[in-house]
Amino acid sequence: MRFIDEARVFVHAGKGGDGAIAFLREKFRPFGGPAGGNGGRGGSVIFQVDEGLSTLLDFKYQPRLIAQDGEAGRGKEQYGHGADDVVVRVPPGTIVFDEESGMTLADLVMPGDTAIIAQGGEGGRGNMHFASSTRRSPRIATPGTAGEQRWIRMELRLVAEAGLVGLPNAGKSTLLAALSAARPKIASYPFTTLAPNIGRVSISGEESFTLADIPGLIEGAHRGLGLGIRFLRHLARTRLLVYVLDGADSPDAAFATVRAEIAAFDPALADRPAVVALNKIDLIAAAEVNKSARKLRKLTGLEVFPVSADKGENLAPLVAAIARMLHRMDQPAACPS
């Protein structure tokens, strides 16, 4: 399945049904009173989160979402039927913007979250409602109101607790595969990962956390170079960053580049809690690993975990540290004494 994280869609809610002008004409009431019923409500366009979805691909093939109009009112004080709402499934992390104003219409994160994207019109009132002591036979009814219609822009931002960031070919996808059941494409050339991947990492028992693999960043990514800004936004919801650095290829310089790009994109994102995974230690001598780890701790001020994602070495301490930090974030702040 293709990963699509942007879509442009036209939504059109249904018009409310018109109110009716009608009078009772029965066998023993040939001149009965006004009996026109109200029109039915127009259908709304509603988005609902489905945790089984992970792409906006369907909206590329269905760029128009149109709800039905409400039924007009009828005689004998009968109301028109309301139209069914169009309920559209979207993946967790979907943000919906009004294209013209830029206003955020919905930020849909949790399974089951819903939002009305286009409100259906109200049904008009029939003439039964306009009768009075001075107006016995009103020939007045109101039309149904129009349903909302607009062009919307949709963005998908992955919902993950931790995100793997680093230069291309640093081993992020291999690390994700080693830590979770996710099976991203893995190869020995840069930019193998062309879309974010997400996996669930088990800690113990029923405890786990979600981990996202963001495509490799290069210098100038925040300006759109490489895979660029398009995927940097997927870090917005992550609570913790894992800098994955190639231990065999200038890890300190790699860290400086990646962190600078993240800070240029969003300074607050660069200040998120983080750890460093010094990867590919199977390719370098132990003394060099220790030297690089010490240098990185001093440079970054972060915990550094030498690992080999390819060989599955030293992964448990890294997982434990991520879990511990996430757990700490969940704890309420201590009250001052």
* Chain center to CA of 269: 18
Residue 336 placed within a domain: no
The average pLDDT across 133-150 equals 92
144 with 272, same domain? no
Q: How far apart are CA 209 and CA 156, in angstroms?
A: 20
206 with 103, same domain? no
- Provide the terminal-to-terminal Cα distance of the chain, rounded to the nearest Å: 54
14 with 136, same domain? yes
200 with 274, same domain? yes
309 with 208, same domain? yes
What is the DSSP-derived secondary structure letter of residue 25? -
Residue 245 placed within a domain: yes
Domain that holds residue 95: 1-156
151 with 166, same domain? no
Q: How far apart are CA 335 and CA 320, in angstroms?
A: 27
User: Which of 112, 134, 156 marks a domain boundary?
Assistant: 156
Q: What is the pLDDT of residue 227?
A: 52
CA R_g for the chain: 29
CA dihedral 201, 206, 207, 212 (to 10 degrees): 30
b/e per residue 93-130 (b: at least 16 CB within 10 A):
bbbbbeeeeeeebbebeeeeeebebbbbbbbbbbbbbb
Angle at which helix 286-300 crosses helix 251-265, to 10 degrees, equals 30
Q: Mind listing the pLDDT tens digit for each residue in 79-112? A: 999 999 999 999 998 999 999 999 999 999 888 9
Q: What is the pLDDT of residue 78?
A: 93
Answer whether residue 187 shows pLDDT above 50. Answer: no
Q: For 63-72, 116-125, 164-173, 183-192, which range has the lowest pLDDT when averaged over its residues?
A: 183-192
Tokens at residue 297, please?
A: 């701790």
In the block, residue with structure tokens 């003439």: 127
76 with 189, same domain? no
Domains contained in the chain, number: 2
Answer whether residue 62 shows pLDDT above 80. Answer: yes
What is the DSSP-derived secondary structure letter of residue 133? S
Answer whether residue 40 shows pLDDT above 70. Answer: yes
User: Which of 121, 136, 156 marks a domain boundary?
Assistant: 156
Confidence of residue 232 (pLDDT cuts 50, 70, 90): confident
For residue 4, the one-letter residue type is I
Q: What's the whole-number average pLDDT of the chain?
A: 86
Answer whether residue 272 shows pLDDT above 70. Answer: yes
Q: How far apart are CA 314 and CA 297, in angstroms?
A: 17
130 with 183, same domain? no
Q: Count Cβ atoms below 10 Å from residue 321 Cβ, excluding itself.
A: 16
Q: For 86-90, 128-132, 231-235, 270-274, which range has the lowest pLDDT when averaged over its residues?
A: 231-235
Q: Count Cβ atoms below 10 Å from residue 86 Cβ, excluding itself.
A: 21
User: Which of 156, 185, 209 marks a domain boundary?
Assistant: 156
46 with 125, same domain? yes
Confidence of residue 162 (pLDDT cuts 50, 70, 90): very high
Nearest alpha carbon to residue 245 among 283, 271, 209: 283
* Chain center to CA of 218: 25
The average pLDDT across 27-38 equals 80
Answer whether residue 335 shows pLDDT above 50. Answer: no
219 with 133, same domain? no
Domain of 5, CATH number, reads 2.70.210.12
Phi, psi of 88 (to 5 degrees): -110, 130
Tokens at residue 145, please?
A: 């109101």
* Chain center to CA of 302: 29
221 with 106, same domain? no
Tokens at residue 321, please?
A: 């540290």
